[in-house]
Amino acid sequence: MPPDSVLLADRYRLGAVLGTGGVAQVRRATDVLLARDVAVKLFRPGDDLADARRIENEICALAGLSHPGLVKVYDADPSGETPYLVLELIEGRTLRDRVTDGPMAVEDVRRVGAALADALDHVHARGFVHRDVKPANVLLDEDEIPRLSDFGLVCSADGAGLTKTGQVVGTAAYLAPEQVRGEEITSTTDVYALGLVLLECLTGHREYEGSEVEAAVARLHRPPVMPEGLSFDLVRLLSRMTALNPARRPSASECAEALRTPVADPPTLVTVPPQPRSRGLLAAASAVVLISLIGTGLSTWNSITATSSEPGTTAPATNAPATNAPATNAPATNEPVSNPARTEDFEPTPVVVQPTAPIIAPAPVQVVDHGKQAGGKGKPDKGKGKKGG
């Protein structure tokens, strides 16, 4: 690292350390040429060729990106003794610092999430995947406007040559399932991490705690827990963003649109179509029961009347319905009229409803005898009609 008394590239006077990572240190600096404060990221290249390629890749990627949701790049030198990046200085704090103060309001989470999703959409459209979306890599200025930073793990969309096969790269608490498995990395990997970041903003704590191994493997065994009280559309969006299958996740552009335009909850979650059918079935069942009761009453009344009309006998009153067997000329007895539909296994009850048995089927001779006594005609309905007329 160059000493503080020496101008970096004869232009940048280094100041306080703002942050330190695995391969770089970020320091506050002053651009003496333009008289403005900047942030300088100083890289510590090691002997590993992959580290050198990663540094060059980050510099080249940021140089080709320009978006309000990304930290601006002012200058860079990837080939010097100390490679560096000169970045926009964001006066404020990180999103991680903000979350330590407690859960954020839903409106603020939507606003921050939409801005970050827009920035990721820009990154993905240029053929890159960030691979390390987390609260510590989101800078908030004094107006709480977020900027996505730290592209140290950025890779091209096809991941060509930047990661060894099966190697896990990223922060354990925010890894997508495919990262844990060492599978192909796509733009939906960033969408998954953003979903976990937004959940953390809503709850105030990480969804997957524990050691790096525990946090990484936990997402393979259970989905994230959605906080209570969230709107239906936000629960649905976060569930899709953190889906185990990358194909089910929305794009960053779709996430931004959904976060910007909340929709009202549906009036009810009960499916409407089955309701009329249920009421129709209930009405039909009620009609069958009613008709059965009426039919049983009529057939019983016809049987009692026909039996009592035989001379020299007395038919005791009974609730048993008339039989469906053909009437014979045998004299009536004092035995109750039997019901063939009832068996010995049934307990005697006042009414037995048997929708599958004939509802009204009085014996022909009994109906004719009753009609003759009541109306003097062969058919009781017509005889009653003439009397009524």
| CA pair distance 167, 363, nearest whole angstrom | 88
**Is 380 in a helix, a strand, or coil?**
helix
Question: 10 Å Cβ neighbour count for 339?
Answer: 22
Can you tell me the distance from the alpha carbon of 378 to that of 240, in angstroms, rounded to the nearest whole number? Answer: 77
The DSSP element (H or E) to which 177 belongs, if any, is: helix 177-181
Measured distance CA(304)–CA(67) in Å, rounded: 94
Distance, in Å, from the CA atom of 228 to the CA atom of 242, rounded to the nearest integer, reads 17
DSSP notation for 294-306 = HHHHHHHHHHHHH
How many Å separate Cα 21 from the centre of its chain? 37
Distance between CA 381 and CA 319 in Å, rounded?
24
Please confirm, yes or no, whether 47 is among the known catalytic residues: no
Burial of 372 (0-12, 13-18, 19+ CB in 10 A): middle
CB atoms under 10 Å from CB of 133, counted, come to 28
What does the DSSP 8-state code read for residue 345? T
C-alpha 187/C-alpha 246 separation (Å) is 9
SS3 30: strand
Q: Which residue from 132, 130, 118, 70 is spatially nearest to 254, judged by alpha carbons?
A: 118
DSSP structural state of residue 338: P
Looking at residue 175, what DSSP letter applies?
Answer: -
List 118, 121, 132, 150, catalytic entry: 132
Positions annotated as catalytic residues are 132
